[in-house]
A and B are shown apart, each in its own frame.
Chain A
């Protein structure tokens, strides 16, 4: 499963929360690939995926969160998708 977190550089909240969300996600699902994506360096990818607000979390190519989720919300979204895939 692939998680991409799109952020704008200088977003203090993103920097603060990124590592705890990532750790929680990796604990919730096995074989998780996490990528922090600077939106200014990846504008085309963001537009293609439908990211229009920041920060945004994209799971397997789908925009799932348009603002920072809680750890519980993120884990729930990941486990639901993981369950549906298996």
Chain B
């Protein structure tokens, strides 16, 4: 059994993060020391590494809790996990598309504002943003 500090060191996350994971139901101590300190088993370190890798793939903590649940379910199969991974990819691709559209809109605003010396009252970017706001309100 290891202390929270030791687990934090092994997994490169802070003690606060470990407590937060506990509050979110992602990891829990296997027991407590006579003095009342949290004690973790070796599986906790594997769980933390799992959480970190899943976060790097874009999964939220709620989704990771679900994945951990599937991981521990006897009747679950790889297809259950694969579908979740495909859905995450769909969400990420959708966000990429939205961000590309934002980037394109910014490109247009930037290209329309050729004269940087112009006073801000004549700024074409401000004017275009106000127009966009006005046309939305009209709808």
Contacts and interface: CB of A to CB of B under 8 A. Distances in A.
A51 interface: yes
Given A10-B79, A12-B79, A52 B86 contact: no
Nearest to B78: A10
B91 interface: yes
B69 interface: no
A36 B138 CA distance: 40
Interface in B54-81: 78-79
Interface stretch (A24-32, A38-46, A71-79): A38-46
B41 interface: no
A50 B94 contact: yes
16 contacts: A8-B86, A10-B82, A11-B79, A39-B90, A43-B89, A43-B93, A44-B93, A47-B90, A47-B94, A47-B97, A48-B97, A51-B90, A52-B90, A53-B87, A54-B83, A54-B87
Interface string B97-122: 10000000000000000000000000
A52 to B, nearest CB: 5
B66 to A, nearest CB: 13
Interface of B is mostly: helix
A52 B87 contact: yes
Nearest to B85: A8
B61 to A, nearest CB: 19
Contacts of B90: 39, 43, 46-47, 51-54
A19 B86 CA distance: 23
A14 to B, nearest CB: 10
A39 B86 contact: yes
A8 to B, nearest CB: 5
A52 B94 contact: yes
Q: By CB atoms of chain B within 10 A, which of A43, A47, A48, A50 has the most? A: A47
Given A10-B79, A11-B79, A12-B79, A54 B86 contact: yes
Q: Which of B79, B86, B91, B94 has the most CB of A within 10 A?
A: B86
Nearest to B83: A8
Contact of B91 (A8, A12, A52): A52
